[in-house]
Chain A
Amino acid sequence: MIRFDSVSKHYPDGTVAVDSLDLVAPSGQITVFVGPSGCGKTTSLRMINRMIEPTSGSIWLDDQDTSRIATHELRRQIGYVIQHAGLFPHRTIVDNIATVPLLLGWDRNKARARGRELLERVGLPAHFAERYPAQLSGGQQQRVGVARALAADPPVMLMDEPFSAVDPIARDQLQEEFLRLQNELGKTIVFVTHDIDEAIKLGDQVAVLRVGGRLAQLATPAQLLSEPADAFVAAFVGRDRGYRALGFTPVGELATHDEPTIAMGSALTGAEAADGWLLAVDDQGAPQGWLRLADSRPGADTTVTEDLLHRGGTVAGADASLRAVLDACLSSPSGRGVIVDEAGRLAGTVTASEVLALIERRAPADPNPQPVGGGGQ
């Protein structure tokens, strides 16, 4: 647990970067600091490992006042990841990762073995170990940065816009893997971003800061979307927050319709569908795409092949959110959303109006989902 106890930071030129911040980042959870540029996110983050000293107030790591721990010792138990990774250009990847273990006095072989283990953990091939940072792409360097921060297995991780310098696709992938990793490791993480979507996707709780370094709201992502504390938060959270809030509501019991299917590779003769759209599945029963009968000439010589399929539609799992299910309907060329079971096999289809009816029925029952975990105010 990290606790800010009325922490302020005033710079010598009079800038108030952080103004009496009170906040708890609970153990094992991701707390995201989000807000417009200059609102004091980085300053708040760096006060935790004392790269910046608070002007007043104190920050606690569990039951320890951080101002009483020698800075280098404090920092060796806190992982730190920054925007451009900041890898050491003169060290190989594995040596970069092994930095903190070596500083802690680990045996060299053990430290490098740990480096290799983490390289794999963050999804990089083993032969990258002996490369130098300049030989890696930005996204790959960022993974190494995460691995390096994790190397000595610190209980706490601080991350300052770690994914904002990579392209959107790589970012999405990094975010997914980050969540998977956090699922396994359960670190206490403080994550800074200026991107509200990233905050909502990653945070167990989100702290919205406003310029001048004041906390505007501390809440779970769902609460933030459904109940912004004031006009500033509402504007910052954005326009389609109603739709995005559906992402936090599990679909629950969903009545699906049986969907006629056709197997890949089979002949189109006798194929029938009410509206001219037919769902193709593979031999496992996993949906492959929609087939428009008007596009193909049914006959003994026409078989279902890849290039006949429309692949535009998304697929929602049985445990998906309302948003994912609705998206499956809206993106489906036939207008019927494809639902699959845990194994990825077709479970049935639903229509957008059925999902909307579900949302309407559901809405009054649970307007404010409960916050996840404790802490905060």
Chain B
Amino acid sequence: MIDYYRQNSDQINGWLGWHARLSALPLLFGLLIALPLGWLARRYRWLYPPVVTVAGLLYTIPSLALFILLPGLLKTRILDPTNVVVALTVYTVALLVRVVADALGSVSEDVLQAATAMGYRRLGRLLKVELPIAVPVIAAGLRVAAVSNVSLVSVAALIGVPELGQLFTNGFQLSYQTPILLGILLSVLLALAFDSVIQLVARVLTPWRRAVPR
């Protein structure tokens, strides 16, 4: 396996880089979209059930179908990585909307009441009080989404997008196990890397969680 990597290292590193980018960008965009949506679902209670249902349905669309459909919808070329980013953003949003809504819902009524009574306006309260307290729950959701993205990106290899999934298609075409094993290994390492980064950021943002043993 190491020999195989040495021989193809340039190409494989390129795929790894793409794979990382194609999983990370949707995570970022997905979070930015899910935050206001989750807030809305929380703020207007009647929105919560439909939003959560729609999000769940979105997640059940097969990824391959989305990769093939999007170029038509977005007027992009089939090999354009934008398709993958958009598709995975949809999945990330689907996963995170509910997480954000529930995370905001976990802030205690006493805290919300105190914040309002002290003269926070709605946006200030959201940014300075609710979101900081919601960080641990949102981070847990992000970790799930990150792993899901890393594994979904591989599927895009079927339509020729350059990422680690290429190792699986190559291995399959050549009936050769080594690239497949290497692909799995690198995917797992990538997922672990994302996971650690998210955990680290969450830790830095929540010094108050460390103060008390729980």
Report B's interface with A, CB cutoff 8 A: 108, 110-111, 113-121, 124, 129, 132-133, 206, 208, 211-212
Contacts and interface: CB of A to CB of B under 8 A. Distances in A.
B209 to A, nearest CB: 9
Interface residues of A, number: 31
A100 B110 contact: no
A44 to B, nearest CB: 15
A89 B118 contact: no
A82 B212 contact: no
A131 interface: yes
Nearest to A80: B117
B206 A90 contact: yes
Nearest to A134: B212
Contacts of A90: 129, 132-133, 206, 208
Contacts of A51: 113, 116-117
A77 to B, nearest CB: 8
A257 interface: no
A131 B208 CA distance: 9
Contacts of B208: 89-92, 132, 134
A49 interface: yes
A135 B211 contact: yes
11 contacts: A75-B118, A80-B117, A86-B110, A88-B111, A89-B208, A90-B129, A90-B133, A90-B206, A103-B120, A132-B211, A145-B114
Q: Which of B114, B115, B120 has the most CB of A within 10 A?
A: B114
Contacts of A63: none
A87 interface: yes
Interface in A274-333: none
A84 B110 contact: yes
Given A90-B206, A91-B208, A85 B118 contact: no
A86 B211 contact: no
Contacts of A92: 208
A214 interface: no
Given A86-B114, A88-B111, A72 B211 contact: no
Contacts of A349: none
Nearest to A83: B110
Contacts of B111: 86-89
A103 B117 contact: no
Given A76-B119, A88-B129, A103-B119, A82 B114 contact: yes
B114 A100 contact: no
A73 interface: yes
A29 interface: no
Nearest to A74: B119
Interface in A83-112: 83-92, 99-100, 103
A349 B96 CA distance: 75
A91 B211 CA distance: 11
Contacts of B120: 72, 103
Contact of B113 (A86, A103, A131): A86
Contacts of B108: 86
Given A89-B111, A90-B206, A99 B212 contact: no
A131 B211 contact: yes
A83 B208 CA distance: 22
B181 to A, nearest CB: 44
Given A49-B117, A80-B114, A132-B208, 7 more contacts: A51-B116, A75-B116, A85-B114, A86-B108, A103-B118, A103-B119, A135-B212
B120 to A, nearest CB: 7
B55 to A, nearest CB: 27
Interface string A99-129: 1100100000000000000000000000000
